[in-house]
Chains A and B, each alone.
Chain A
Amino acid sequence: QITLKESGPTLVKPTQTLTLTCTFSGFSLDTGGVGVGWIRQPPGKALEWLALIYWDDDKRYSPSLKSRLTITKDTSKNQVVLIMTNMDPVDTGTYYCTRSLTQDPPEYWGQGTLVTVSS
């Protein structure tokens, strides 16, 4: 059974850096073709794709957010970390961790974690 769970702060201040961790089970990020990524959703708004890291450490970023994002993996811990710098209130939303296979859309999603950016 594949599961993913997001963890991190629920509240961050403007200009701060957000660090989110995705802890997963039921698969390995050592397996060819496997990727773990992040997608977010502001309250009442649409999904926005953020970043993805593949088993071979290939990393993909949303062009509009690339300068603010860093994604890394720790295969031994079954974890993927997303770092987003210079947080702004518009970054408030639910952040989802997902699993996908090469060029396949995310099929497995975590429950999501709500992050609020406010002073």
Chain B
Amino acid sequence: QSALTQTASVSGSPGQSITISCTGTSGDIGTYKFVSWYQQHPGKAPKLKIYDVSSRPSGVSNRFSGSKSGNTASLTISGLQAEDEADYYCSSYTTSGTWVFGGGTKLTVL
């Protein structure tokens, strides 16, 4: 299985919205609703922000939202805040019964 494809970097100003895309195949994103997104600050373990394409774990701000179309999933962060600056990773369950991650997207809040 190959890693999911993410844009290397994205930036936005405080208050704006940004979208990060994640492209997979019919062997992962295209088949399952089990797409998730993680936020990782430097030196920290990743934190789950979205699961099952668009669900948020308890305590995660509703500024984070997810969607999927075909083999591509997207994470949108609205009302950007300085604390949102981090690396973001998508992940998907696969037809092999395993998981695969994306290459990561670095979000810069200008």
Contacts and interface: CB of A to CB of B under 8 A. Distances in A.
Interface of A: 39, 45-49, 52, 60-64, 96, 103-107, 109-112
Residues of A contacting B: mostly: loop
B45 A105 contact: no
Interface residues of B, number: 26
B100 A49 contact: yes
A103 B93 contact: yes
A46 B91 contact: no
Given A63-B1, A103-B34, A104-B51, A46 B101 contact: yes
Contacts of B98: 49, 52, 60-63
Interface in B32-48: 32, 34, 36, 38, 40, 45-48
Contacts of A39: 101
A52 B97 CA distance: 10
A47 B101 contact: yes
B76 to A, nearest CB: 18
A111 to B, nearest CB: 6
Interface in B67-110: 89, 91, 93, 96-104
A105 B36 contact: yes
Contact of A105 (B1, B40, B48, B103): B48
A47 B89 CA distance: 8
30 contacts: A46-B89, A46-B102, A46-B103, A47-B38, A47-B46, A47-B89, A47-B104, A48-B3, A49-B99, A60-B96, A60-B97, A60-B98, A61-B98, A62-B1, A63-B96, A96-B45, A103-B32, A103-B34, A104-B34, A104-B51, A105-B34, A105-B51, A105-B91, A105-B99, A107-B57, A109-B45, A109-B46, A109-B47, A111-B45, A112-B45
